[in-house]
Structure 1
Amino acid sequence: MANKLVRGSLIIFIGNIIFRIGGYLYRFLMATLLGPTGTGILGITMSYQGIFQTLASGGLPPAISKYIAEYEAVDDHNMARQTVYTSLKMMICIGLVLGVLMIFVIAPLMANVFLKKPETLVPIQIIGCITPFSVILGGLRGAFQGVYKMEYIVYTRAVEQLFMILFAVGFILMGLSVVGAVWGTVIGYALAAFTAVYIFKVYMPKYIPQYTDDFKFSVSQELKLAIMLIKFAIPVIITAIAEMLIFNICTLVMGKFLTLESVGFFTAADPISRLPLMISISVATTILPASSEAFKLKDIESLQKYVGQSYKISLLFVVPMCIGLALFAVPTLQVFYFKNPSYVNGAAALAILAIGMTFYSIFAISTSIVQGVGNPRIPMYILVFGSIATGVLSWILAPILGIAGGAT
């Protein structure tokens, strides 16, 4: 099992390095092609996208991972497979309903009433087209995670990012501006979802075998399974939404009080501050099923070993990266956005956010461990409190200190 933890973390970490590079390339291209104002619109849109996709998933991907790991630990392959199918049914229904609401209700309210920036309306509406694909993708990634096939997650992320960049750039060059960039995201998610379905059908039967001939699963049994998944998923989805709010609520509040250009400077700095998370998230992704399996088998010695290894790996690398980003915020932005020196205006926000990532890295690993042993409510309470504090403080500080206030 220790080898699984190290191998899974390493695969996700390598993937995260590649995708952080791809993410920088995407941000660089968008910042160059759209300018600060267009980047501000895109940043606001992506903030809504993250929150909305998290809501549409219903908190089920971690539940899928947890219960597949537990069922596979006792060789109950039928229930492991059934967990995937039952979860996907629920996620697709939620995704379709929320997609329609986003297009016709939520987007008009956000753009015209809350932000009072009509130019953000169409990009936010397009988010509704992403959800049918993102929920399928999220559910199947949960299945891959549950059997420690982290490379399958990497493959789908590669497809998502590659085609998102290609189509976004192509559409912008065709004159579609921010709208084209968001449509590129839709296509990226669609192709990644098809890739995930193909991998699940062709390769996953090696790890989650097909149903045995004697397996019967009634409607009432499926309802019980759905309720079990939902009970675990409810605190997880509250936690996930609170997590997205901590990352994105300041952007949304700044969108109300500041110019789109200022939001663009913040949007350029924000993803760079998250670079240290590629280490902690890699570990956190793997520790959830590992801790679930050890807890299910009552192997407390192994569980303690995984916890210790996770914190050591994270702190050894994350703390120096965060301090370095905070100290060298100006030259970092000069290097990342060498085509447009104006983005150096986001240096103060970058320095503040980088310090915050030190603490958040520790929290990310702790959350996965606590979820893995079946108690997701503790991180939920902490994150709900944190998101409320972030929203209130952003509302107070952003009008006074600008993007530095939002970062604080």
Structure 2
Amino acid sequence: MSSKLLRGTFILTLGTIISKVLGLFYVIPFYAIVKEHGTALYSFSYIPYTIFISIATAGVPLAVSKFIAKYNAMEEYAVGRKLFKSGLVVMLASGIISFLIMYMTAPFLAEISISSTKKNLEISVEDVTTVIRAVSFALIVVPFMSLIRGFFQGHQSMGPSAVSQVVEQIVRIVFLLAGAYVVLNWLNGSLVTAVSVATFAAFIGALGSLAILGWYWFKRKPHLDELLKEDKGTLDISLKDIYKEILLYAAPFVFVGIANPLFQFIDQITFSRAMGSIGLEDQAQAAFSILNFESHKLVIIPVSLATAFSLTLVPSITKSFVENDRKGMRRQLDQTFQVLMYLTVPATVGLALLAEPMFTVFYEHKDLGTEVLRTYAPVAILFALYSVTAAILQGINEQRFTILSLLTGLLVKLSLNIPLIKLFETQGAVLSTALGYTAAIVINMFVIKTFARYPMGFVARRIALIITFSGLMAGVTMAFYQVLVQFLSPASKFQSVVIIVISALVGAVVYFYLGLRTKLVDKLFGDRVTKIKRKLRLPV
């Protein structure tokens, strides 16, 4: 891999991580401003928006970058420029159409999301309609913007995408927090107006990102035009064939990207009614906020880094599959699953153990929040496994099964959600999500085992070892935690931070020490741990 590509990949990964970190920590001041009913209202609008935006743009940057990189390598630069020019028109049109559909269907989306059998609920159908319409404006800009990012990535220029992602998040968060605060505290506006401003921030953030991309375009256009002069001009591909190829590249990413929002949307349209059927309608909206906004934001933390790290191994799986190198492919699959589990399992165990102080730090001390987060944390492992197994299916050219696995998982979720909520209340929704993802993962793993002829015995033994290490870590961490709570209160934000830092540090030291002593880390990460071992004076 060239140093330019390595540098570009690092820049893009760094930009993505910064964006995700900002997207996590803004919830602390946002929750302080709008409280649980505000975050519930925010979730009611943002989940449909995520589905719309996933359909409109999921896979577009990667598909466009893959297409342009392919033809640039053939020195057919005009083909990529042809896609770019027509694509801008297509994506702008699709964005406007998506906006109009979401704006006009907002009353219907609100109606199916809210149980309106009682009139004294804090959030009404009209409130949700207003907020959904506020966030829908972002659909005009985001698809258009995604195409530009893909164009730059296709030229191995990752800086514009990375910088625009970070700027988009910063602009969105500043507008979101400032807008919500000003509406509620200076203008004495309603909660609905404040949350509408907060969701409209997605449109403002997208404009900020688009401005950055425009600046990069004018800065780099002379170089891009120079490439056109070197065009061989031997290919004349029709727009129909271009978009057919783009759709083939993008389709698998649409289904992977849309999975989590669809699971959340099932909760959105069933949760309030299910809770109302057991006499808990007054608690439904606050519980929904805890489930689909507050806890979900924290559960995604251990998923992001582990999944990103594991997915870097997928290209080598693709290469081994294409070259029919079965031995190499098995080795890469083993490494992918082990790295994923090695990073995700202890993180989810730690999140479950420290659920009470974690929820307090990000939101407030709340018994239901602690219970739901503790139940939800292990589901992060399933989120990560689904993303990686779906990516592997693409690597072995069996991506068609991602549709089957996703639909099966959604059917399981939809079938069991209401019965389980009636039995276990909010935790029932978590359980149905876990069962739905499990069904999807089982199908993905079966396909991998069948078509890649992948034996799972070795990796199963390694995962058992990882679970053992995580259990030992949990035992030590829990012991320290029980001592700490004798002197510090997890109901206090500052004291919760101290509890989390000390407990997490103890757990991390125990876990990684076990990995280093047994040389499991060496097997997973190679020479990169040698320096760490030497510093710790452990045998290399």
- Map of 2:362 onto structure 1: 336
Change over 3 Å in CA distance of 1:109–1:68 after alignment to 2: same
Change over 3 Å in CA distance of 1:168–1:404 after alignment to 2: same
Q: Deviations over 1:186-244 (max 9, x none)?
A: 201221123234334534876896434664886x7112211222344445434433343
- Alpha carbons 1:326, 1:352 under 8 Å: kept: yes
Change over 3 Å in CA distance of 1:222–1:385 after alignment to 2: same
- Alpha carbons 2:165, 2:209 under 8 Å: kept: yes
- Map of 1:268 onto structure 2: 294
Q: 1:370, CA displacement in angstroms?
A: 3.4
Residue-pair matches, total: 402
- Map of 1:227 onto structure 2: 244
Amino acid at match of 1:183: F
- Map of 2:344 onto structure 1: 318
Change over 3 Å in CA distance of 1:289–1:210 after alignment to 2: farther
- Map of 2:50 onto structure 1: 50
CA distance in 2, matches of 1:144, 1:226: 18
- Map of 1:153 onto structure 2: 161
Aligned to 2:228, the other structure's residue is in SS state coil
Q: 1:275, CA displacement in angstroms?
A: 0.4
Amino acid at match of 2:178: G
CA distance in 2, matches of 1:309, 1:4: 25
Change over 3 Å in CA distance of 1:24–1:214 after alignment to 2: closer
1:397 aligns with 2:450: no
1:378 is matched with which residue: 401, 409, 430? 401
- Map of 2:303 onto structure 1: 277
Identify the range of structure 1 (49-58 vs 117-126) with the bigger mean alpha-carbon deviation.
Answer: 49-58
Q: 1:162, CA displacement in angstroms?
A: 0.7
CA distance in 2, matches of 1:327, 1:256: 31
Q: 1:272, CA displacement in angstroms?
A: 0.5
Amino acid at match of 2:137: C
- Map of 2:109 onto structure 1: 110
CA distance in 2, matches of 1:138, 1:257: 38
Q: 1:289, CA displacement in angstroms?
A: 6.8
Alignment of 1:18-97 (within 5 A): 18-57=18-57, 59-97=59-97
Q: 1:347, CA displacement in angstroms?
A: 2.2
TM-score, L = length of structure 2: 0.65
TM-score, L = length of structure 1: 0.84
Over the matched positions of the two proteins, sequence identity in percent amounts to: 21
- Map of 1:186 onto structure 2: 203
Q: Deviations over 1:62-112 (max 9, x none)?
A: 3223323433444443334444444443322222111111112x1011113
- Map of 1:406 onto structure 2: 429
1:164 aligns with 2:172: yes
Q: What are the ranges of 5 or more consecutive residues in structure 2 without an aligned counterpart? A: 117-123, 184-192, 276-283, 432-540
- Alpha carbons 2:134, 2:197 under 8 Å: kept: no
CA distance in 2, matches of 1:134, 1:235: 20
Alignment of 1:283-362 (within 5 A): 283=309, 294=319, 304=329, 310-337=336-363, 340-342=364-366, 344-362=367-385
Q: CA-atom RMSD, angstroms?
A: 3.5
Q: Deviations over 1:369-399 (max 9, x none)?
A: 4335654312222122212222332233234
- Alpha carbons 1:9, 1:286 under 8 Å: kept: no
Identify the range of structure 1 (17-26 vs 185-194) with the bigger mean alpha-carbon deviation.
Answer: 17-26
Identify the range of structure 1 (36-45 vs 5-14) with the bigger mean alpha-carbon deviation.
Answer: 5-14
Change over 3 Å in CA distance of 1:182–1:345 after alignment to 2: same
2:228 is matched with which residue: 206, 211, 216? 211
Q: 1:35, CA displacement in angstroms?
A: 1.0
CA distance in 1, matches of 2:206, 2:384: 26
Change over 3 Å in CA distance of 1:391–1:194 after alignment to 2: farther
Amino acid at match of 2:135: I
Q: 1:41, CA displacement in angstroms?
A: 0.6
Q: 1:365, CA displacement in angstroms?
A: 2.7
Change over 3 Å in CA distance of 1:62–1:202 after alignment to 2: same
CA distance in 2, matches of 1:303, 1:201: 44
Q: 1:359, CA displacement in angstroms?
A: 2.7
Identify the range of structure 1 (325-334 vs 308-317) with the bigger mean alpha-carbon deviation.
Answer: 308-317
Larger radius of gyration: 2
CA distance in 1, matches of 2:221, 2:328: 26
Aligned to 1:130, the other structure's residue is in SS state helix
Change over 3 Å in CA distance of 1:58–1:169 after alignment to 2: closer
Aligned to 1:341, the other structure's residue is in SS state coil
Change over 3 Å in CA distance of 1:234–1:25 after alignment to 2: closer
Q: 1:52, CA displacement in angstroms?
A: 1.1
- Alpha carbons 1:276, 1:321 under 8 Å: kept: yes
Change over 3 Å in CA distance of 1:13–1:402 after alignment to 2: farther
CA distance in 1, matches of 2:417, 2:25: 29
CA distance in 1, matches of 2:153, 2:334: 21
